[in-house]
Amino acid sequence: MIESLVPAGSSYAGEIDLLVNMILWIVGFWFVLCEVVFFWLIFRFRKKEGVPGQYISGEEKSQKRWITIPHVLVLVCDIFILVGAIWVWYDIKQDLPPAQAEVRIISQQWAWTFVHEGADGEIGTADDITTINELTVQVDTLYHYKLESLDVIHDFSVPVWRLKQDAIPGRLITGWFEPTLTGSFDIQCAELCGVGHALMGGTVHVKNAADYASWVAENSTMSLASAATPHAGGE
Amino acid sequence: MAESIPATPELAHDEHGHHEQSFASKYLFSTDHKMIAKQYLFTGIAMALIGGFFAYAFRMQLAFPGMDIPFFGVVSPGEYNSLITNHGTIMIFWVAMPIILAAFGNLVIPLMIGCDDMVFPKINRLSYQIFLLSALVLISSFFVEGGGFGGSWVAYPPLSSEPQYNLTPLGSSLWIGAVGLEFVAFLLGGINFITTTMNSRAPGMKMNDIPIVVWMIVIASVLFMASVGPLLAGAIMLLFDQNLGTAFYDPTRGGDPVLWQHLFWFFGHPEVYVVFLPPLGMVADIITTFARKKLFAYRTVLYTVFGTGVLSFTVWAHHQFISGIDPRMANIFTVTTLLISIPIAELMFVYIATLYGGRISLTTPMLWALSFIAEFLIGGVTGIFLGASGADVYFHDTYFVLAHFHYTFFPIAIIGFYMGVTYWFPKMFGKMMSDFWGKVHFWGTIIPFNMIFIPLFVLGTAGQHRRIYDYSHFPELMTPGMQDMRVFATMSLLVMLAFQLVFLINFVNGMIRGPKAEKNPWKANSLEWTTESPPPHGNWPPSEMPTVYRGPYEYSVPGREKDYWPQNEPT
């Protein structure tokens, strides 16, 4: 149900969409069943002259099974959902596959700072590329992100990637993503962070290998040239 | 426990026997549970008007960004945050709690268990007075320098604890102070509900003869009392961080902001059940009355609710899946969260099964009770998407969450309020409301309600995140189709708000000019219908205090001429 509104742009977006669709079918079935029975009973047992109500305690086994059987079936459905939910969760949040590249994400009221690897493929060197509110990554590359906050709680969210992670001041949080779709997409801050919360948007540019290489070449030279001044190399 | 001790009359009525009472002692400083119920009810209605007005203002801003809104003006980003924060806070703590728990708890417990008043009437009065004070403190916070608090109702620090981040130094302290006072008020009220039900039941009323709604209010009070302590401590720590320079939540000085989230949600999730259980109980009493049916499996309902109560303490961190807690913890909380769907599904099945073989009349209270089931089902099933950790990675903080919990809180606070008021109005005021205008109001509320929140499910699924003043910085969310949906939701809200006038007129008109209500207009079994409408001081004349012979749901018993059998009628 998500993929019809938001394209799936990361390696795990499809897993989440599949899980959501499975839940949709399971709970949709129970929801429709309950509502149909409910409205049918209201219609069927409307007050009619000369027809008294029935006296049913619901305490006898033969009566109780009308609720115990659905009850057991709900439990079975829950187990399916549980397995799916934990499976997907494990892949996205608990497991950390080996990285091919790394990016630092620094959040503050009300902007994102992204530190990219330069041509040397390492963070913390002079050719790092630092940008504000614009993240540039290479498609089909597995990134580790290191997320931090300088003031209040923020949340790094990219809907096309199905990625969300709170940034907690005082902690460095590591996670991963692997973009699979080229293009430019929204970055959101998904945790209320003060009066400028609505300004805290950004854009992620997912480029193919050639475009990414030329972007890096162009920007890391600029970084090196102006290594002494902060915030150089931005767009 | 079958033996019951009546509340000592001299304790309950020492200061206002049957002599003429002054206006102040009758209306302002009353210790009569029925008057305190009305005080809670009217204060809650007044707060609901404020909370509804806030919703109007911020929905207008979302539909028409930057517009000069009639009766409000242009909404600034700071004001927007304050509006959404206080809308949420008011609707939960100053509308759902006073109306659903305190007003109906005070009204029905002594009447339904057949005693003359609460066990501690003065504590009851103190509870309301502290509650009123808390409401006044909250309202004052909107007018101080810097404006009202805008850190959302969950108030995560450091945003809520540091004035340089939230820019509302006074507003945030008054806000947390008001919330703390409100907790104290309901702690006092809860003591009364539990003690009265356990000790003051009419002779003959066994545990299994207590109406479900009373059970639910008692269990809700237990949940509240057991969960609020940690948050009350947390609130005091927040107040200290704001004003005394402590660093409980400040990571730069050794504190931890996530600590607040645990304290908040350890209370916050049981709190959902605190306000959910009483209307769920009302549904049981109302559908059995108007379906002329015995409640399906009374004891199953009871055990299921006990189970729900216990489980509700084990699910809190499902609000924090992506908040930086250890990811392995999410697995445990996914299991407990999905487990809680089982007792809730069971309750829904029980209520649906109760309708089978009934003789259903669709009066106004019955329509509200049935709509509670139909709408709450939507809130319930959409919760599964959020409780499943893998799916919550996407849905967290979107409008999907917002729509989900409005499908639970609207049935709880608004449908619960209307079903309770329309059902017990004759007993409260001794008059009848118009059934016709009641139904007009019902349809005029329930249809627009769905039209507000179904588009918000779609917007949330499309990735629209919450608490955003203006979406123009997010191109993916600024498509014409999405803006149309925002406008549609706002228009539906205006229609729904307009129909609330029908209720207010019907309510006031019923109180003043409604036809006189008889003792038992709905032909129901429980004890409140065996006394006058409205009941006299002390509820029954001392010589006519009821004795109970059976449970409250003996409708359509074979071989009896009447299709109901009041609890106090000797066999």
The 10s digit of each residue's pLDDT in A18-43 is 999 999 999 999 999 999 999 999 99
**Domain-embedded: residue B5:** no
- Split into its structural domains, chain B has a count of 1
What residue of A is the nearest CA neighbor of B357? Answer: A54
Q: What angle do CA B298, B281, B302 make, to 5 degrees?
A: 35
**Domain-embedded: residue B485:** yes
What residue of B is the nearest CA neighbor of A49? Answer: B359
User: Greater confidence, A224 or B361?
Assistant: B361
Instruction: Based on the fold, state whether residues A77 and A127 are members of the same structural domain.
Output: no
Instruction: Based on the fold, state whether residues A87 and A146 are members of the same structural domain.
Output: no
**Domain-embedded: residue B557:** no
A155 forms bridges with which residues in the sheet? A166
| Domain that residue A215 falls in | 101-225
Q: In the block, which residue shows the tokens 């069943």?
A: A33
Q: In the listed set A70, A94, A118, which residue is the last one of a domain according to the structure?
A: A94
**Domain-embedded: residue A221:** yes
At B165, which CATH number?
Answer: 1.20.210.10
**Domain-embedded: residue A148:** yes
Instruction: Based on the fold, state whether residues A63 and A159 are members of the same structural domain.
Output: no
Pairing of strands A143-149, A173-177: antiparallel
**Domain-embedded: residue B505:** yes
Residue B254 region by backbone torsions, left for phi larger than 0, else alpha for psi between -120 and 50, else beta: left
CB contacts, 8 Å: A93 with chain B: 322, 327, 330, 389, 393
pLDDT band at residue B571 using 50, 70 and 90 as cut-offs: confident
Q: In the listed set A66, A94, A122, which residue is the last one of a domain according to the structure?
A: A94
pLDDT tens column, B75-109: 999 999 999 999 999 999 999 999 999 999 999 99
pLDDT tens column, B2-22: 444 444 444 444 444 455 677
SS3 content of chain B, % helix, strand, coil (to 5): 70, 0, 30
pTM, two decimal places: 0.93
| Domain that residue B340 falls in | 32-123+133-544
| Backbone phi, psi, residue B516, to 5° | -65, 135
- Distance CA(A111)–CA(A132), nearest Å, equals 7
Residue A185 region by backbone torsions, left for phi larger than 0, else alpha for psi between -120 and 50, else beta: beta
Q: Which residues of A107-126 are buried (b: 16+ CB within 10 A; e: fewer)?
A: bbbbbbbbbbbbbeeebeee
**Domain-embedded: residue A30:** yes
Q: Which one, of B324, B187, B451, lies nearest residue A148 by Cα?
A: B324
Which pLDDT score, from 0 to 100, does residue B351 have? Answer: 95
Inspect the interface and report whether the beta carbons of B390 and A193 lie closer than 8 Å: no
- Split into its structural domains, chain A has a count of 2
**Domain-embedded: residue A3:** no
Which pLDDT score, from 0 to 100, does residue A73 have? Answer: 93
Pairing of strands A134-138, A202-207: parallel
At A180, which CATH number?
Answer: 2.60.40.420
For the complex shown, is ipTM > 0.90?
A: yes
Inspect the interface and report whether the beta carbons of A159 and B463 lie closer than 8 Å: yes
What residue of B is the nearest CA neighbor of A59? Answer: B297
Whether the Cβ atoms of residue B471 and residue A13 lie closer than 8 Å to each other: no
For residue A27, give the nearest of B327, B373, B381 by CB distance: B381
The fraction of chain A above a pLDDT of 70, given in percent, is 94
Q: In the listed set A94, A129, A150, which residue is the last one of a domain according to the structure?
A: A94
pLDDT band at residue A89 using 50, 70 and 90 as cut-offs: very high
What residue of A is the nearest CA neighbor of B296? Answer: A58
- Distance CA(B461)–CA(A159), nearest Å, equals 10
Pairing of strands A163-167, A154-158: antiparallel
CB pairs under 8 A between A and B: 289
Instruction: Based on the fold, state whether residues A127 and A90 are members of the same structural domain.
Output: no
CB contacts, 8 Å: A199 with chain B: 473
CB contacts, 8 Å: A168 with chain B: 251, 257-258, 323-324
Whether the Cβ atoms of residue B419 and residue B463 lie closer than 8 Å to each other: no
**Domain-embedded: residue A41:** yes
The Cα of B168 is separated from the nearest Cα of chain A by a number of Å equal to 10
Inspect the interface and report whether the beta carbons of A58 and B373 lie closer than 8 Å: no
Q: Which one, of B446, B467, B464, lies nearest residue B455 by Cα?
A: B464
